[in-house]
């Protein structure tokens, strides 16, 4: 049995089908997000990618954001954007990977750095709409975004 849920975040509406059954990650899509931040300009570069089950990149996006107040916020922004994008694609079984231990910890333990509070709240809200969701730490050796 599936229940339709619809929410609006930042003026964009997303609709998810939430199945009433245990989480299964065998058909989950993988997403990786990353950020780089410059203290002097408060500019952040964010990127996120979706991958097929065989590890092949499906799609990748990146953008620059001005007036980002901390490196923690810089790491939280692409995770939130990744989740919004997954929602717009109708993906309800996801594994999200970030190289930010602080972010993954804040999401998993219901604790948050003050800078991340709003972003983590949005992430948790979107996670509740998904059928299966997992947040995992990605090793820093797998970086794919650097500010030049």
> What is the CATH architecture of 28-142?
2-Layer Sandwich (3.30)
Closest residue by Cα to residue 63 from 47, 77, 79, 75: 47
User: CB neighbours of 54 closer than 8 A, spacing ≥ 6?
Assistant: none
Contact criterion met (CB below 8 Å) for 84 and 14: yes
CA distances from 114 to 70, 100, 102, 105, 111 (A): 11, 16, 12, 14, 9
Q: How far is CA 9 from CA 63, 70, 140, in A?
A: 19, 22, 30
Q: Locate the domains of the chain by residue range.
A: 28-142
pTM above 0.85?
Answer: no
User: What pLDDT, on the 0 to 100 scale, is given for residue 110?
Assistant: 66
pLDDT average per 10 residues of sequence, the chain (148 residues): 41 36 55 93 94 86 95 94 92 92 86 80 92 86 46
Beta bridge pairs of residue 65:
44
* Both tokens assigned to 9: 């975040």
Q: What are residue 4's DSSP bridge partners?
A: 17
């Amino acid at each position: 049995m599936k229940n339709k849920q619809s929410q609006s975040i930042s003026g964009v509406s997303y609709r998810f089908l939430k199945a009433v059954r245990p989480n299964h990650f065998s058909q989950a899509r993988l997403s990786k997000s990353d950020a780089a931040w410059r203290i002097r300009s408060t500019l952040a570069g964010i990127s996120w990618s979706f991958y097929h089950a065989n590890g092949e990149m499906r799609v990748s996006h990146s953008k620059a954001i001005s007036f980002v107040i901390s490196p923690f916020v810089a790491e939280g922004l692409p995770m939130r954007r990744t989740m919004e994008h997954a929602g717009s694609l109708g993906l309800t079984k996801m594994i999200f990977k970030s190289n930010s231990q602080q972010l993954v910890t804040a999401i998993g333990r219901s604790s948050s750095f003050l800078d991340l509070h709003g972003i983590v709240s949005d992430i948790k809200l979107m996670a509740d709409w998904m059928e299966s969701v997992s947040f995992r730490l990605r090793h820093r050796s797998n970086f794919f975004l650097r500010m030049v």
